[in-house]
Amino acid sequence: MQDADLLFMSATSAAALIRARKLSPVDYVEAVLGAIARQQPRLNAFVTVTAAEARADAKRAEQAVAAGEPLGPLHGVPVSIKDLVDVSGVPTKHGSAIFQDNIAREDDVLVARLKAAGAIVIGKSTTPEFGNKGLTDSPSHGITRNPWNLGRTSGGSSGGAAAAVAAGLGPIGLGTDGAGSVRGPAACCGVVGLKPTLGAVPADTTRDAFGNNIYAGPLARTVTDAAVMHAVLTGPSAKDPWSIKGQDQRQLSPKLIGGDLTGIRIGHIARCANPRVAADVTANTRAALDAWAAMGAEVEEVTDAIDWIELEGRILYQANFTVFCAQYLPRWQNQMDPVTLAFMERGATFSLADFRNAQFARTRLFRAIQALFERYDFLVTPTNTRSALPVEFDAANDEVEVDGVKCGITRQGWTSYQYPFNLTGHPALSVPSGFAADGLPTGVQIVGQWGAETDVLRLGSLLEQARPWAQHRPAGL
């Protein structure tokens, strides 16, 4: 098997070959590490590559196969971990100069679950400082570039993971999503990204467990790989109150068993807080809706007047940076990302009343979405309003241009479809929808009812079958 085919093989296919003793984990990991070495200067998708540890783990994985030991669903499969999540013995730098020497003492619960499933950690993928924005760059590690066009961003804040998966530097990556940070990079890089239901995947390290809006989820080239990885990550943790007891996240609705979607109701939300959508994104979203309609689904435009609480969401987001990062300013201000500092400055202007009213608005938004799910099985939107932004875009000050028209900051003009579902807790999946006029990927977002990740993944899988995308590869790899 040629390296190119191996690097772009799905995780589930690779795991099956490893179990059948037709693929050596040692050879597989070596091929991925070689590809990382070649592509890291171009893409900058990794902040740390754990080559020695990965090679040792691959040898142990091969010995386990030879010994006939029980093997997990991801046995021998390389995985990258976003550099906001701890891997024992490896620095967790948070994209910041502040934490350059921060060696993790133990694995995060999600890393422990991936390792228990047999996955082999190959490195820590890049993130902007504290995952602060929709582009992946920081003063500490530089710019992470989009494999489809090196002049464009890979998205953020899980841009390193998305770029790595898109470029064949491991078939799966673990990302986190605080305001679209899995789904946005997935759309930018032409891969699959899932933000689960609140509590489905535990968030052991979040500072506000009860008011949490940060999720961990998979980035993958296929829906099946994302589903398998998600199944590995789910389950309760005593540190996350939302995860302790809840609905079974893996149950599939019976009416989605086959390929006939008759009786399935899809509500199409054309716009959230954004004033415009690029014509090519609209066309690709319509093509996805038409594909589901051809399977029997009833597609309807959502005309309800919904307050998408862009300002209130920004108050919650930026005020958190103000409080959390204040401790670092005396020593580290000159080495911090100017975007972080801008968010802190703006967050400091909000009052306690502003913050509490924003929390109340979050409840109103949740109830508005719940009301839509009384009529629809799924909600569908574009993932981004346009293809990936230029890498030099200033996320604190620049306005997003959509078809040549300025449309506000990123939350207003680019990622407005994403952040609402961090606030409401509903599962949301981004899958590729095609290519824009500039040759970059676009994505469509599928939102489901609470606990309905399996249904969301199934609808994404049906689109994947009708409009395949995993065969596409960026040039120059």
Residues 10, 80, 82, 154: which is the catalytic one? 82
Tokens 């990927």, residue?
Answer: 441
Mean pLDDT over the full length of the chain: 97
3-state secondary structure of 317: helix
82 noted as active-site residue: yes
C-alpha to C-alpha distance for 155 and 190, rounded to whole angstroms: 11
Q: Are 183 and 162 in contact (CB under 8 A)?
A: no
CA angle 73, 77, 78 (to 5 degrees): 140
pLDDT digits (tens, 9 = 90+) for 329-388: 999 999 999 999 999 999 999 999 999 999 999 999 999 999 999 999 999 999 999 999
pLDDT at 394 over 80: yes
Domains in the chain with CATH codes: 3-466 (3.90.1300.10)
Confidence of residue 245 (pLDDT cuts 50, 70, 90): confident
CA 349 vs CA 130, 138, 238, 316: distances in Å: 21, 25, 36, 12
pLDDT digits (tens, 9 = 90+) for 12-23: 999 999 999 999
Residues 10, 125, 140, 181: which is the catalytic one? 181
Contacts of residue 166, Cβ cutoff 8 Å, sequence gap at least 6: 146, 147, 148, 154, 189, 190, 191, 221, 474
pLDDT digits (tens, 9 = 90+) for 302-321: 999 999 999 999 999 999 99
181 noted as active-site residue: yes
Minimal CA–CA distance to 133: which of 366, 419, 407? 419
More confident residue, 284 or 251: 284
Residues 10, 80, 157, 387: which is the catalytic one? 157
pLDDT at 248 over 70: no
Q: Which pLDDT score is estimated for 246?
A: 61
Residue 265: how many other CB atoms lie within 10 Å = 14
157 noted as active-site residue: yes
Q: Which pLDDT score is estimated for 162?
A: 99
pLDDT at 65 over 90: yes
C-alpha to C-alpha distance for 30 and 291, rounded to whole angstroms: 39
